[in-house]
Amino acid sequence: MTGTRRDDIAANLDEVSRRIDEACLAAGRDRRDITLIAITKTYPASDVDILASLGVTDVGENRHPESADKRAAVTAPLTWHFVGGLQTNKAAAVTAYADMIHSTDRAKLVRALSRGAEQAGRAVRCLVQVRLSDTEGRAGVEPPGARQLADEIAGCESLVLGGVMAVASLGVDPRPELERLALVAAQIRSDHPAATTISAGMSDDFAEAIAVGATHLRIGRSILGERPSLR
């Protein structure tokens, strides 16, 4: 690990923090209501160590077992988020180390997560991933099905319903989609008042996400640099 890498990450983190403060000010929101999750997928465990030493408390990964390996290699006490598409047969393994699963998008996955969390003896927070656009391949449950999926998560003893998550479309104004997410979040909150998490906002749209009420930002590239093009 070079001093240079640490300096780069520190500078990026400062800049992101400044922009979060600015967006909070513009939206009239309290910065303390927002959690920054550094998305560390494709980056080494040594970068996670650097982030932890710079005061980052939350990190996110999108693939098992890469995420499990990194989790095992890092000793700093962090909150670990799983934000990627999850196959049912990997669900139990992920519940053993993830504190919050953002990508809960179907009843079958809820049942698998529930069994895994029960076996692991852990209470795992789950977010309903909501699909906001018709774009081919976008994951998530359609908004009309989100409430029911939320009920299913809330009905599992070993799972905690945290709220909602979405990935807004790239290359278009993200606000209409993010506003739709805020509406779904409010509906779910009316049934489950403790489900206050809104996970939205990535490198390109986190200011807009803050404006519509996001509580958890998932930021990768702006902190760690461009990833190789594959993911």
Ligand X SMILES: *Cc1c(COP(=O)(O)O)cnc(C)c1O
Q: Which residues bind ligand X (CB under 6 A)?
A: 39, 41, 62, 83-84, 167, 202-203, 218-222
Minimum gap (Å) between residue 16 Cβ and ligand X: 10
Least distance in Å: CB of 83 to ligand X? 4
DSSP H stretches of helix in 74-226: 88-95, 107-120, 143-154, 175-191, 206-211, 221-224
Paired tokens of 141: 């449950």
Contact call for residues 198 and 164 (beta carbons, < 8 A): yes
Cβ atoms 112, 99 nearer than 8 A: no
Per DSSP, the three-state class of 35 is strand
Provide the minimum distance between the beta carbon of 175 and ligand X in the complex, in angstroms, as a whole number. Answer: 17
Identity of the residue, 109 or 157, whose beta carbon is nearer to ligand X in the bound complex: 109
Minimal distance in Å, beta carbon 165 to ligand X?
Answer: 8
Residues paired with 79 in a beta bridge: 58
CB of 4 to ligand X, least distance (A): 21
Which residue has the closest beta carbon to ligand X?
220
Q: Please return the burial class of 155, using the count of CB atoms within 10 Å of its CB with bins 0-12, 13-18 and 19+.
A: exposed
